[in-house]
Structure 1
């Protein structure tokens, strides 16, 4: 099969449609996981950083990225993962933060420029009623990157992203 010439912009557009396997309202590009796209003739290379080094969805993400690029007609696709630099919640796109909130997940506060990981729990706002009157009920949610909360104002449980 002949490889069709594609542009990096076409690849980025295709990757913007690849959903995060755990949060389908955001894509891998919305979450800032895709770090680099290189097109060299008929070969496309995509480098991504998982949100968590032990992410159980790592293979799903890699396969989904490869499928999205191959759907453009590219046969020679390399998908690489890297842990350097480590993913940070600061890479989440602003509009994706709002979609997370609408989905019922409190988006993370900015991690900031510090090279250190903060151990303090940042103020969390209920994604349903915007109240800060919330309490954490679990340090680890369904995934290691989230905590479990209950809002004492509206009484709704919700998940919140940890800032990293």
Structure 2
């Protein structure tokens, strides 16, 4: 039994719309943790592959549950969700639309790493020296705490407009 290509496309659209439980303005596709949606050869079963933002991410159980629910609603109740760790997720996988949504929500997106090699690996390690304020755009900001509202964010403040904001940590 084989799923039709249209069924795989529909499953991908359903899964791509799943919202990240910690960064609710982004879908898992925009965040870059949705790696693939395929059909298992021979069975026609839909297989979704995801990568956590970091090993031990507390949101992964919720994401897997939400992906399964989206697949069931799309007519694939027996779909499989696989978690892969290699290559490791990087903030470079956040889409341009995702970066724009972060900024619009008052969260400073990380800078893109200038790396080389497979999947953006093998180059220099990105170092955050500053973050532009997502509200006024000023580079005059300061980090208040390495820990923000979630483990993947740090708390910053703009010196120009005095607004605090989250900054997504570069990985």
State TM-score, norm by structure 2. 0.87
Contact 1:42 1:76 in 2 (8 A): no
Q: Pick closer, same or farther for the CA change 1:35–1:115 going to 2, 3 Å.
A: same
1:88–1:111 Cα contact (<8 Å) kept: no
1:1-164 to 2 correspondences below 5 Å? 7-40=7-40, 41-113=43-115, 114-115=121-122, 118=125, 120-164=127-171
Which deviates the most, 126-135 or 71-80? Answer: 71-80
- Does the 8 Å contact 2:130/2:142 carry over to 1? no
The equivalent residue for 2:118 is: none
Q: Is the 8 A contact 1:45 1:79 kept in 2?
A: yes
Count of paired positions: 162
8 Å CA contact retained: 2:107, 2:167:
yes
Gaps of 5+ in 2: 116-120
- Superposition deviation, residue 119 in structure 1: 6.2
Contact between 1:43 and 1:75, CA under 8 Å: does it hold in 2? no
Distance, in Å, in 2 between the alignment partners of 1:158 and 1:68 is 31
Structure 1 SS opposite 2:31: coil
Shift of 1:73: 1.1
Give structure 1 stretches of 5+ with no counterpart.
Answer: none
Q: Which has the higher helix share?
A: 2
Root-mean-square deviation (CA, aligned residues, Å) is: 1.9
- Does structure 2 retain, via aligned residues, the 8 Å contact 1:145–1:161? yes
Provide Cα deviations, 1:112-131, integer angstroms capped at 9, x if missing partner. 32436736324310000000
